[in-house]
Structure 1
Amino acid sequence: MVGNSNEAGYAIGVMDGDGIGKEIVPGAVRVVDAAMSAVGGPPIAWVPLAFGRDALDEVGSPIPDATLEALTSLHGWIVGPHDSASYPEEFRGRLTPGGVIRKHFDLYANIRPAKATPGVRAVSPSMDLVVVRENTEGFYADRNMFVGSGEFMPTPDVALAVGVFTRPAATRIARQAFELARSRRKKLTIVHKANVLALTTGLFRDACLDVAEDFPDVDVRSEHVDAITAHLVRSGEDFDVIVAENMFGDILSDLTGELSGSLGSAPSINTSDSKVMAQAAHGSAPDIAGHNRANPTAIILSSALMLEWLASRSGPSSFASAARHIERAVSATIGSGVATSDIGGQASTSEFIEVVVAHALRS
């Protein structure tokens, strides 16, 4: 059984976060409820948890211990964006609230699909790929150390950073990527920069190639990170699954999100072998927060990805059915001409959500 259950159904955590999170996350919850009702699945018991600036103001921490403890008993949660840059100075040098959750639960895989939607102008209108990003090591200093940071300054004029690559981490993210590729079009691209970073990204590439031996049905190629950026712009439709270390994966998934339409529409989940966090790739957008202009597509589709992931880990099949229902509801909404301004429409956040909910309710 996935998650806790009670008379109300499966329990999933929900954290609105900062900025536009307060507008888009509740909308995603409504869409999930509508889709679950339409497919006849069990109702979800939503568990609101303290997170972000509100938690900081109320209890002195943007990610309270009580929230982490509550998440332990859940297998899935939806997390809104955070605006760490606006927190008091003492919190700005720490791990972000989302980073604390990722590290605490070892959410080592960041899965970011990039699929063009009919009705949305895209640089790559036939793109349909997934970036699988290793989420715990690489060149990001806030994720690659057990204690302390991998970024430091021995003098005011010298800044150093330590990139960490291990075979176990590369192997487990490669296995996730190959399993995903096997379920799709059976094509996988390994991203590295081994012509310059031979020991570090070379280890990542070689560990992925070792895993490839267990997946003879998957067509494998490797690309230098600078070369693949050009290939994605020129012929993004040629790619299926891309596996990359942390920083390369972050950059490439932002690129593919824009090439396929808009970063505001790009879904994302972070997973371990037993936990999943739905969290859109975009930020809290404080400049438009409270103006009813944000695009909720990314968090809605991230929630659908969460349901699909849970279904693949012994969850009820209705979760997968609801995920497909949500994807169709979003496509139908945009196809009908209802879209937010960032993807060429005039709908407000609330108007867009209402139409998606209406489509999701249709069985």
Structure 2
Amino acid sequence: MGAYAIGLLSGDGIGPEITASVVEVLGAAQRHSGSALLRWVRLPMGQTAIARYGEALPAFVKETLRECSGWIMGPHDSASYPPELRHERNPSAELRHGFDLYANIRPNRSIAGIASVARQADLVIVRENTEGFYADRNLFGGDGEWHVTPDVVVTAGVFTRKASERIAHAAFREAVRRRKLVSIVHKANVIKRGYGLFLDCCYEVARQYPEVRVNDYHIDAASALLVRRAEEFDVIVTTNLFGDILSDLAGELVGSIGLAPSLNAGSDYAMAQAAHGSAPDIAGRNAANPAGLLLSAALLLDWLGDRHADRRLRELGDVTERAVYAAIRDGVRTADLGGTATTAEFTAAVTARLGES
């Protein structure tokens, strides 16, 4: 089998620095394993693409990504784009929508040596990624919001059986690999039809996984319990808006959203994308923390390994993840984690621990 083509979209702000770290670490990991599994396909996105093509995500970039096995996306800074582009879907939303990346997978775990509110957490939030109360992903045409008078806005929330069932399957498949518990988070007591459909679909899917325990919580109760007893959760499945909020909360509870990995996955494609933003205030200063994107890349390799039944990819991802955690455990930390390491120094520390992993 030849090398897997991996799209690389460096993005804005700290994006070029942290994607360079991913390339360096995964290159070293492949050398350690004696394989050449990955082939990088570098593509413009964000300010670089705007400067050259007048678009944040040109059509040829999307077409090229269709020929890739998966891709890694750096952060984007949509707020800094020209006014005429700000009304469009941002690059990550455009790819999630265009490639039907319906599952957003966000692991959160307490890390040895990192101060955190939740000290024994190890959970995954599986977020439906295509509908709910996210207007840019609800409709075939239009943005899903209507300004019916100068003082009234109506926003559409869309809930479908198809989307609810497939995200439930994604969550239960994840739980089978872990501690076999799924918690459904919803608001069916108030939004009875929309969240009621979502809740019913999740329980219907649960019957196909008899080995997995299941419970459910209203979003407000789940948020409180996540702060108080995060260690009791295994896999949380929820809708788009709630998943966005809960995953950021969980990231901070275990130490920093800068450490939080994220994978946007569909049936045919997946995109690694760290949960944090573009941090333009530290861009170009060799101060960014690449850990979130490195761990996201490890998730992508695991997904690709499953999709292509290639254990070498899973092993590459596992080695990378363990080297990141080893560097942090050994006290190599960037400024956002209270340390003094530069981006380059953290990258070198991870690379040095690949052999140990």
Report the TM range for the smaller structure's normalisation: over 0.9
Tell me the amino acid that sits aligned with residue 109 of structure 2: K
**Residues 273-332 of structure 1: per-residue CA shift (max 9 Å, x gap):** 110100011111111111222111100000000000000112421111111111110111
1:80 equivalenced with 2:80 (yes/no):
no
> What residue number does 1:234 align with?
228
Unaligned runs of 5+ in 2: none
TM-score where L is the length of structure 1:
0.96
Structure-1 residue corresponding to 2:142: 148
- Alpha-carbon RMSD across the aligned residues, in angstroms, is 1.1
In the TM superposition, 1:1-363 aligns within 5 A as: 5=2, 9-362=3-356
SS at match of 2:282: coil
Residue identity opposite 1:305 in structure 2:
L
> In 1, are the aligned partners of 2:4 and 2:68 still within 8 Å (CA)?
no
Partner SS state of residue 281, structure 2: coil
| 1:41 positional shift | 3.4
Q: Deviations over 1:38-84 (max 9, x none)?
A: 23333311000111110011011110111001000112100001101
- Alpha-carbon distance in structure 2 between the residues aligned to 1:41 and 1:194: 50
Shift, 1:152, TM fit: 2.2
Aligned-residue offset at 1:179: 0.5
Letter in 2 for 1:137: E
Instruction: Note if contact 1:110-1:134 (Cα within 8 Å) is conserved in structure 2.
Output: yes
Is the partner of 1:256 in helix, strand or coil? helix
**Percentage of matched positions with identical amino acids:** 52
Distance 2:29 2:119 in 1: 27
Q: How far is the alpha carbon of 1:344 from its aligned partner?
A: 2.1
Equivalents in 1 of 2:303, 2:349: separation in Å? 25
Could you report, residue by residue, the CA deviation over 1:133-168 in whole angstroms, capped at 9, with x for unpaired residues?
A: 000000010111111111221122111100000011
Contact map agreement 2:118 2:254 (CA 8 A) in 1: yes
User: Displacement of 1:32 after TM fit?
Assistant: 1.4
SS of 1:138's partner is: coil
**Alpha-carbon offset, residue 335 of structure 1:** 1.4
Counterpart Cα distance in 1 of 2:315 and 2:326: 16
**Which whole-Å CA distance do the structure 2 matches of 1:258 and 1:35 have between them?**
29
Deviation at 1:362, TM superposition (A): 4.6
Q: Deviations over 1:94-142 (max 9, x none)?
A: 1001111111100000000001111111111111000000000000101
Name the CA distance, whole Å, in 1 between partners of 2:64 and 2:162: 29
TM-score w.r.t. length of structure 2:
0.98
Runs of at least 5 residues in structure 1 that lack an aligned partner in the other structure:
none
Write the deviation string for residues 184-235 of structure 1: whole angstroms up to 9, x where unpaired: 0000000000111111111111100000000011010000000011101101
Q: In structure 1, how many angstroms separate the alpha carbons of the residues matched to 2:257 and 2:42?
A: 26
Moved over 6 A (4+): none
In 2, Cα distance between the equivalents of 1:233 and 1:28?
31
Cα distance in 1, alignment partners of residues 34 and 298 from structure 2: 16
Query: Across the two proteins, how many residue pairs are aligned to each other?
Result: 357
Mapped partners of 1:260, 1:22: distance in 2:
26
CA distance, structure 1, for counterparts of residue 204 and residue 35 of structure 2:
40
User: How much has 1:361 moved relative to structure 2?
Assistant: 4.5
CA contact (8 A) 2:37 2:313 kept: no
- 1:359 to partner: Cα distance: 1.3
